[in-house]
Amino acid sequence: MAFNALLYTSLTIFILGLIYKISTWFSHRIGASAKDITAPARVSAAGRAILGVIFSQKILILIKALILDVVLQKRILKEDFLRWLMHVSLFGGFALLLLMHALDRILIEPLFTDYYPTLNPFLFLRDLFGVIVIVGLGIAVYRRFILKVPRLKTSPMDHYAIIILAVIILSGMVLEGVKITSYIEFQGMVENYGDLNDEGEMLALESFWVQEFGLVTPNVAGPFDQKLLARGRDMHETNCAACHSSLRWAFTGYTLAKILNPVALTLDRLGSSNFLWYIHFLACFLGLAYLPFSKMFHIIASPISLLVNAVTKNGGRSARANILTRQILELDACTHCGTCSLNCSACSAATSSEVLGNEYVLPSEKMVFLKRLAAGKDPNQQEMSTIKEGAYLCTMCDRCTMVCPVGINLQRFWIDLRHYLWEHGIRSESLIKLQRLILDSNNLLGEPNEERMKWGQKVDLAPVRRKTSRVVYFVGCVTSFFPATQVIAQAFTRTLRKAGVELVFLNGDEWCCGFPLFISGMKQEAGEYIKHNILKIEDVMKETGAKDLVLTCPACYRMFQDGYREFIQQDLQFNVFHSTQYLAQLITEGRIQLGELGRRVTYHDPCDLGRNSGIYEEPRSIIRSIPGIDFVELTNNQERAYCCGSGGVLLITNREMSLEISAKRVGEVLETKADFLVTACPSCIRGLTMGRIRQKARFKILDITQLVEMAGETGGV
């Protein structure tokens, strides 16, 4: 009766907790974002999305993610083998124990005729899975308390989880060992299932179990007569063999039974098997009831998050309602493991005490703040002051998302956090100045916007005589106004004209793409710039017949590819290319001829072009297509590339930290002994140039458009 009461109580708490946690996915939000979207609307949107996945080819993506990301945990394996081994041991071991032991009557019995848990291979497998869990727990203790993995914080909740799991497994193993030696258990088994005619048969069976099964009895002790053992074996074959394999297969329980042998009779008299049985199941019930309210809930939330991320990563735009729901799910999926902080471009380069003293420079600590915010817990004044600075000590490089074991879209959280701060009037002077500059002049530098084309004074912009195509070139603020990066637009224009491509410009009608406003938290202002540029581009395309938009700035490119869809909620009516994509296409078609360059070259992946847009191969194919180039990769490249330091408006909010990040990246370049550092972003050109000056390095920094022009015009240097 008491057992059933505890079982149903813990099960009720678990179910109610599960319902509550899932309900928060549809009711909670970060700050006041999208107040117009109700919980029922979010449930409805999620339902439609689920059906859309099930009845489409995305179901194949879902199955692939289930196998690779959930079962095999590929993302963790890429980052840390020891951590992967811990996770697979805990997750796999417990899952298999649940299937083969706790739920054996429901799942195993229907599959195997004449099933008994005391038969092989079930005896062996049950102990094997228990040992696997012990290995996982051992690694968890080692990582947290001995190895002390950097950025991995241990809270009381972590202690509770480890203790509960350890008690469940260890009590089960000791219980098995005690039951193997228990004479009381043996007597109960014989009374219930045996068919013995006299005391002689009982003595023979008892002797056989002492010899072969580790039983401890007050009645008999070895050495035994072989005839008695032979008779006992016959009794066993007749009465017990159908449901009892040799207990040696229960290798952990049998080993513990041997250890407990000297005190087995005392333990039996004290009723230790009953005591351990209650301890074991009380721990199970406690763990079950505690799960929805603890960090252990991630064993439910994290797999769901991984599956959701798999089907939405490349699936176009998501409904706003589903984005809100997904974010709260991701907050539950986050385990505060510190992987994001350990791999953060900003954290890894920061050295100043001012920065290191602010815990909110760490992505993992920002997530803790956001969890409280989503739960409706308003921050106090001190927290607001700290988060005001910490939220902007970030380059928005998105390296954290790339390494997150459960694939959380962390960058969206950072943007929403900044939006929350901006909407609540928590603004730094540097950001207020940035807003004023852009809103007053429609560009990032506060220059007269009609002077955007001054760079064109050094380029022939007359109509192309033998025109083969026509494109709209969105130049961008950094390329238009900074002398050091104006050469990008000039080189790109000359190269495309030589290939027979006529470029059309928006001139003064080109406004800031809105990216600096967007990532600063000024979403409403960014939306106005997005709408303006779309309108002007469509007008120019109608007038000229151009169908393609080309950009040399990855931030601008990203806004047209992703940001514009978010604000306008529809796909663009024209094609969008980054310059690397367009140049690679022209080279493949033979419209750009490249001469030899005998130089060693390395390439820096811009964050907004690589991680945030998935463009890795085109720049490399361009570099490799130039004869004579000795191309060498940086140590951290493609997905793992570190930021140049100038992203995320960090150069505006904390110049010194920005320079520290760029100097670290330049240090990687120096290791390659490259003559040229090539990139494909005007902001990276600026950031890396400052880092090169700080490091007193002598290599040359080029945009890939300059490299192509150099190879196309001179055929060498």
Q: Give 605-623 pLDDT, tens digit per residue.
A: 999 999 999 999 999 999 9
Report whether pLDDT(103) > 90. no
**Longest C-alpha distance within the chain, in Å?**
114
- Beginning with the edge strand found earlier in the chain, give each strand of the sheet holding 600-603 in spatial order: 630-631, 600-603, 676-679, 700-703
Report whether pLDDT(682) > 90. yes
Report whether pLDDT(327) > 50. yes
Position 314 scores a pLDDT of 52
Q: What are phi and psi of 633, to 5 degrees?
A: -80, 150
Mean pLDDT of the region 522-528: 91
User: Helix/strand/coil (H, E, C) string of 134-174?
Assistant: HHHHHHHHHHHHHCCCCCCCCCHHHHHHHHHHHHHHHHHHH
- Residue pair 434/516 in contact by the 8 Å Cβ criterion: yes
In whole angstroms, what is the distance from residue 235 CA to residue 250 CA?
22
Report whether pLDDT(197) > 70. no
Question: Which numeric CATH code is attached to 600-713?
Answer: 3.40.50
Considering only 111-125, 176-190, 205-219, which range has the smallest mean pLDDT? 111-125
Position 188 scores a pLDDT of 83
Quote the radius of gyration of the chain (alpha carbons, Å): 33
Report whether pLDDT(225) > 90. no
Indicate where the chain has its CATH 3.40.50 domain(s). Answer: 600-713
Position 198 scores a pLDDT of 74
Share of the chain above pLDDT 70, in %: 93
Position 438 scores a pLDDT of 94
Position 610 scores a pLDDT of 95
Question: Which whole-number Å values give the CA distances from 364 to 112, 343, 379, in the listed order?
Answer: 47, 11, 17
Quickly list H helices, 196-352: 199-213, 226-239, 251-260, 264-269, 272-290, 298-312, 320-333, 339-342, 345-349
Mean pLDDT of the region 323-334: 93
Position 619 scores a pLDDT of 97
Position 170 scores a pLDDT of 94
156 token code pair: 């009381």
74 token code pair: 């590929």
Nearest to 205 by CA among 177, 176, 239, 254: 239
Q: What pTM value is reported for the model?
A: 0.86
Q: Which string of DSSP letters, residue by residue, matches 397-429?
A: --HHHHH-TT---HHHHHHHHHHHHHHTT---H
Residue predicted with more confidence, 21 or 198: 21
Position 716 scores a pLDDT of 38
Q: First vs last Cα of the chain: how many Å apart?
A: 89
Considering only 4-8, 100-104, 132-136, 701-705, which range has the smallest mean pLDDT? 100-104
Helix (H) or strand (E) holding 518: helix 515-520
Summary mean pLDDT of the chain:
88
Mean pLDDT of the region 377-382: 84
Query: How far does Cα 618 stand from its chain's mean position?
Result: 25
Considering only 4-8, 31-35, 257-261, 430-434, which range has the smallest mean pLDDT? 31-35
Q: Could you report the per-residue pLDDT of 580-595, keeping only the tens digit for each?
A: 999 999 999 999 999 9
